[in-house]
């Protein structure tokens, strides 16, 4: 399912339906170009040190592990946000099973939609340092998003059955992904039920209201 409107886009199955660096899915007004939800990742999973021709932002929804940004290590716990700007060499290793969500921006420079390795692709050209927000401290906007991060916020929100997020006019673009449970979204008068893996891309100036129909865990990203 893809529902397109000048002020929003609704997608189902962002866990598997779209190429990771595909820049044609999200609307041009969005500051990010794709979200991918990766549920059910197994203990021991990880990636070798690499960099990209675009920015990447992760949210670890569950699990534990370690991430390295330009050689500096950080612990991964649930709700940990990791920002890896273009040119930052990064890798991670999972110590448990885990779920995570990845967000990418438009490709720049040579626009290579790859994991770039120094030994094969040459050394990266830095932009700005990356950062990590610990899960137990990730409860609002990033303390310092810096000069490049496309997002001011990326975190988990848990809702009990019947709880909601009140209707309001958005002051910035918002992005939602359902990790667990279901919820009803009303945006610009259009109502839809969102299930795990479904996403909503909402433009600044639009109105939205969310209500959980059962206990739910949602990812919210804001520009």
Residues 67-96: tens digit of each pLDDT: 999 999 999 999 999 999 999 999 999 999
CA dist., res. 101 & res. 97, Å (int): 14
Q: What is the dihedral of CA 169, 211, 58, 129, to 10 degrees?
A: 30
Work out whether the CA dihedral 201, 218, 172, 150 comes out positive or negative: negative
For residue 154, give the nearest of 171, 185, 133, 184 by alpha carbon: 133
Residues 171-180: tens digit of each pLDDT: 999 999 999 9
Query: What is the model's pTM?
Result: 0.95
Gap between the terminal Cα atoms of the chain: 24
CA dist., res. 10 & res. 4, Å (int): 7
Residues 114-152: tens digit of each pLDDT: 999 999 999 999 999 999 999 999 999 999 999 999 999
Residues 28-74: tens digit of each pLDDT: 999 999 999 999 999 999 899 999 999 999 999 999 999 999 999 99
């Amino acid at each position: 399912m893809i529902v397109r409107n000048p002020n929003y886009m609704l997608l189902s199955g962002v866990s598997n339906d779209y190429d990771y660096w595909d820049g044609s899915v999200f609307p041009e007004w969005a500051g990010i170009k794709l979200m991918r939800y990766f549920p059910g990742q197994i203990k021991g999973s990880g990636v070798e040190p690499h960099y990209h021709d675009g920015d990447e932002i992760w949210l670890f929804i569950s699990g534990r592990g370690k991430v390295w940004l330009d050689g500096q290590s950080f612990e991964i716990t649930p709700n940990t946000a990791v920002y890896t700007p273009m040119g930052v060499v990064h890798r991670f290793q999972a110590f448990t099973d885990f779920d995570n969500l990845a967000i990418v921006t438009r490709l720049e420079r040579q626009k290579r939609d790859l994991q770039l390795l120094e030994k094969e692709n040459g050394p990266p050209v830095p932009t700005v340092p990356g950062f990590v927000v610990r899960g137990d401290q990730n409860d609002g906007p990033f303390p310092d998003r810096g000069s490049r991060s496309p997002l001011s916020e990326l975190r988990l929100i848990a809702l009990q059955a019947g709880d909601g997020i009140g209707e309001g006019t958005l002051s910035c673009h918002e992005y939602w992904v359902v990790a667990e449970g279901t919820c009803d979204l009303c945006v610009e008068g259009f109502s839809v039920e969102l299930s795990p893996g479904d996403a909503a891309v909402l433009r600044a100036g639009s109105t939205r209201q969310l209500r959980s129909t059962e206990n739910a865990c949602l990812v919210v990203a804001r520009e």
